[in-house]
Amino acid sequence: MKTNIFPAIKLTALTLIFFSGIYTAAIWGVAQLAPNGGRGEMITVKGKMYYANIGQTFTEDKYFYSRPSAVGYNAAGSGGSNKGPSNPDYLATVQARIDTFLVHNPGVETKDIPVELVTASGSGLDPDITSKAALVQVKRIAAIRKVSAESVEQLIAKNTEGPLLGLFGPEKINVLKLNIALDELK
């Protein structure tokens, strides 16, 4: 028994020290190299601060809609719905989102709605949409704001971020930044 218990205790103590001290300090050190010291990207608009790396809810028709959130955009409770694609409740939720989108975007067909506008991300906090998801909303926004569709499309192009290092991930648009730029559009 001594030959097994003492090595187990030593290994437990070593892993406690490593994971609660050394590893934590190393991750903290790497985070300091990130923009804003790993505290997220903050944007101040009219005296109010927003985190650009956390999804925000936009329900007014004059704004681009964000990706839906299964947690109400609550960063303290990040997570998905955990419902599978055959779950009746999940299917009803997605159908309700499709119906709502179609009411607010007349002329758009169901097949033209990008999936990220009707399904929540795994974290429930995704701040980005694809350019296709932004472009499908242009007609509504241009009409409400009484600006040309071309100017809204140019704004989308200007706010589109390419893949990381040109290789990793898809093109994306941060919805908060896009809507702030939209408010600044004259």
Q: What is the pLDDT along the chain (186 residues), one digit of tens a residue?
A: 778 898 899 999 999 999 998 999 998 888 888 777 777 778 888 888 888 888 888 889 899 999 998 888 887 777 777 888 888 999 999 999 999 999 999 889 999 999 999 998 878 788 899 999 999 999 999 999 999 999 999 999 999 988 878 788 888 999 999 999 998 886
| pTM for this entry | 0.78
Distances (CA, A) of 53 to 7, 15, 128, 175: 44, 32, 9, 10
Written as six digits, the tokens of 75 are 């960063």
pLDDT of res. 2: 75
* Domain residue extents for the chain: 1-39, 40-184
- Pairing mode, if any, of strands 160-161 and 128-129? unpaired
d(CA 154, CA 145): 15
pLDDT of res. 36: 74
pLDDT of res. 65: 93
pLDDT of res. 85: 84
Nearest alpha-carbon partner for 58 in 158, 162, 173: 173
pLDDT of res. 150: 93
pLDDT of res. 162: 86
d(CA 93, CA 99): 10
pLDDT of res. 184: 87
Alpha helices by DSSP H, listed for the chain, are 2-17, 23-31, 88-104, 131-135, 138-145, 149-158, 175-184
pLDDT of res. 181: 92
